[in-house]
Amino acid sequence: MLTVLVYATVQKVLFDKSAGKRPKAMGVMFKDENGNQHQAFLTNNRRSEVILSCGAIGTPQLLMLSGIGPKAELQRLNISMVLHNEFVGKGMADNPMNSVFVPMTRSVEQSLIQTVGITKMGVYIEASSGFGQSQDSIHCHHGLLSAEIGQLSTVPPKQRTRQAIEEFIKRKRDLPREAFKGGFILEKIAMPLSTGHLNLINTNIDNNPSVTFNYFGHPRDLRRCVNGIRMAAKVIQSDRFTNFTKCDKPTVERLLNMSVKANINFIPKHTNDTKSLEQFCKDTVITIWHYHGGCHVGKVVDPNHKVLGTRRLRIVDGSTFSESPGTNPQGTVLMMGRYMGVKILRRRLGKAAGV
């Protein structure tokens, strides 16, 4: 029988730290919807284990709150150390995305990404349109281009404040209405080489950790973005596209200028955004929330996704990914869970049969 507890939030993993043995996961401490604390323990079956699937941000955070992580990070917050591992929270990555505005003379149907163009240069080309379905839509959340639901990751942690969000919401009223009438050609970096890190802010699991993705920290990522923007502009300037949009063929500088004005993130813009494609990429980057890393295979978990240096603890989620292509990762994570489940089951059945 499987019991699923809804509205239950795990606070930390509980370990048996008997002298001379590797730390063994015993269960978890969690709180219910009323804030009451509980503990759930594994059975005596040696094959029972705790599996973490909290995602690229949640799993490194929970590991550190449970006492597994960089020694200095744990000591800073007076967390009792179970196991020192300097790689927990390291190698955090996200697929940076930039967009070029597509001018339209008429409103278009609302559409999110349906087709992905995979290029040889390491960028994906996609499209999104139709955020201007009503007069009020410019003041509302508008999907992947909405700063209120995720674009804080593009600025340094100290700038991610409630005041910044409120100021942005006010500024949004000055955005050109055309940006919500037409659409955007998006370019997204596949398998980014730039990486960052995750640090705890405090010991409260309900408070998000501080994450820095270091967008375009690697020069190759920046070069790929520039090539992607050039390709997007070329598509928009093509005869077939201008026949569809019913607009005059815009210059690249005009396209970039409109794109900067329509851009929705918290990064201050520069006067040379439309002159330097490199600066344009840095200033208009947004996230599409394909976070990965923080618990890499070979550094935090072994090839079977067991946490190194521990017993009865496994991680099955995107935090173990060293790279991500850039398309929706949900299918990858789902297949990963099914693969690991089948693999574990076969191993146990084989042992039970004496194979």
| Cα separation, 115 vs 328, whole angstroms | 12
C-alpha distance from residue 11 to each of 62, 89, 146, 159, 177 (Å): 7, 17, 30, 27, 45
Catalytic: 197?
Answer: no
| Cα separation, 93 vs 348, whole angstroms | 34
| Cα separation, 49 vs 352, whole angstroms | 17
- Angle between helix 219-237 and helix 277-284 axes, rounded to 10 deg: 100
Instruction: Describe the chain by its helix, strand, coil percentages, rounded to 5.
Output: 35, 20, 45
Beta strand 117-118 pairing with 83-84: unpaired
The catalytically annotated residue of 139, 141, 270, 290 is 290
| Cα separation, 7 vs 96, whole angstroms | 32
For residue 122, which amino acid is it?
G
State the DSSP code for 31.
E
* Tokens encoding 240: 């077939």
Tell me the catalytic residues. 290
